[in-house]
Amino acid sequence: MLAMNRYVKNRYISFCLGCIIVIGILQTFFSKLVELVPSFSPLLFPTLTIFLLVFHLFIACFMAMKYWCDRRRLYLVPIAFAFTGSALLMVGTLSSFPAWLDLYQFNVVNYNDAMIFYMFRHILMAVLIIASAILYTLRNHPLSRLSHIFIVAGVLVFTLSMVTLSWFYSSHSPLLSVDLVDNETRQFMVLWSQAVNIILIILWIVTLLTLMIITRVKNLFWIGGNFLCVCYVVTLLMLLFGGHAEDISWYRSRLFETVATLLIIFVLLYDVFNLYRDSHLKYQQSYQNSIRDPLTRLYNRSYFYDSLNQSLSTAKETRPVSVIVSDLDRFKRINDCYGHLQGDKVLQFVSNLLMDSVRPQDIAARIGGEEFVLMLSNTSSDAARQVAERIRLKLSSFDKASSGGQLPEPITISMGVFTATSPEITAEECVESADKAMYEAKETGRNRVVVYQ
């Protein structure tokens, strides 16, 4: 328990240090930018908003697809709707800056509307991220289909409510109104400076603490989520110390939010890369298990025949394919005298010897209890006989001491060789011919190599 607490504490410390470093780098970058460009174009804000809108749509689609692939991740639904709603509210923000599309309305900017959409966007995202953290605690508790529908519907209704309210509170509707910015002087109103901004900062701090307590910053995905909360706290603090809608803090907060969101996208992509790498490794392990014998790790019968058929399709006089069928002599006595566990060790020892005796492009397989087969591509009959003879002599030279106890006594092997020089011969005929040669070796005294004639 103490080790776990220490590990979690170290994660928190590492996360905080990482946030400080990233924020420091972004702050330095913006300071250098201000030195190079002392004044910004009024179009910079809507341009950054467009980039941010695209980034949020990307994250929303990413979360929706992850949920679609794994319905147990219900906690991704509020995040998807949070970024979708945020993108919709940024469309409202762009409508407050008609100059980004209409050249003749360059000086027409409704900063109050932009700030209203900005306020509702923060409320929407913070609430839905808290909802996501709460649903994350239920990830191991299967929910019914009705519960999924209810939660998705509730999140959808909340998102649409926030978007609708922001539209009514803006100048698009005379029904409701709120003054956050004076459009004449560009000054922030007292309601924004002393109430709304501070409430939003507190809301994001609560969201950050909720995420950190529930998720414990346990993986890259939630590191990105916690970092997003930190970024929003920082952007709101920038606006808190700003005086009006066109000062440096106005552009700095939007630029900071855009760059921070881009960093989060990179984090999510890296998370996808890790998932792909893990799934690829699992696929490779599963594939290897499907083509290999579980005891000896040689290839299994099915893979051997597939490989042999493929090689035989191009077999000819100048590219012969040789097959060596091998069988351990008197192996049943090993099992009867020393037990099946010792017999398994003998099979593993012989398998390692076979794998070490062939080239990487050759195939070594186990096709029966103590029966093995080798496929030697582009190998003549004489060369295959030499390979088999070398294996036979090497195996017979081992005893209990030299084998490290894997062989309880010296053991021999009988081997049959067949070489195909035409694609008309089938894999079954090749193995059958080599098998006949192997049985001839058994009948003529064992511990020998016979080439099929």
Does 432 participate in catalysis according to the annotation?
no
Across the strands, what pairs with 450?
416
- 294 alpha carbon, distance to own chain's centre: 28
CB within 8 A of 139, min separation 6: which ones?
72, 73, 74, 75
Q: Which two tokens stand for residue 144?
A: 């019914």
Q: Which two tokens stand for residue 126?
A: 């913070």
Report the amino acid identity of residue 304: F
User: 10 Å Cβ neighbour count for 374?
Assistant: 27
- Give dist(CA 292, CA 56) in Å, integer: 46
Alpha-carbon distance values, 135 to 72, 141, 155, 397, 438 (Å): 10, 10, 12, 66, 66
Across the strands, what pairs with 326?
372, 415
Q: What is the largest CA-CA distance in the chain?
A: 109
Which strand (E) or helix (H) includes residue 324? Answer: strand 321-328
Of 121, 122, 115, the residue nearest 97 (C-alpha): 115
Instruction: Please state the φ and ψ torsions of residue 29, each to the nearest 5 degrees.
Output: -60, -45
User: Active-site residue among 184, 246, 257, 370?
Assistant: 370
Alpha-carbon distance values, 20 to 13, 226, 265 (Å): 11, 13, 19
| Sign of the Cα pseudo-torsion (258, 262, 265, 271, in order) | negative
Report the amino acid identity of residue 266: F
Of 241, 146, 227, 157, the residue nearest 193 (C-alpha): 241
- Give dist(CA 126, CA 77) in Å, integer: 14
- Give dist(CA 60, CA 159) in Å, integer: 13
DSSP symbol at 142: P
- Give dist(CA 449, CA 382) in Å, integer: 11
Q: Which residues are catalytic?
A: 370
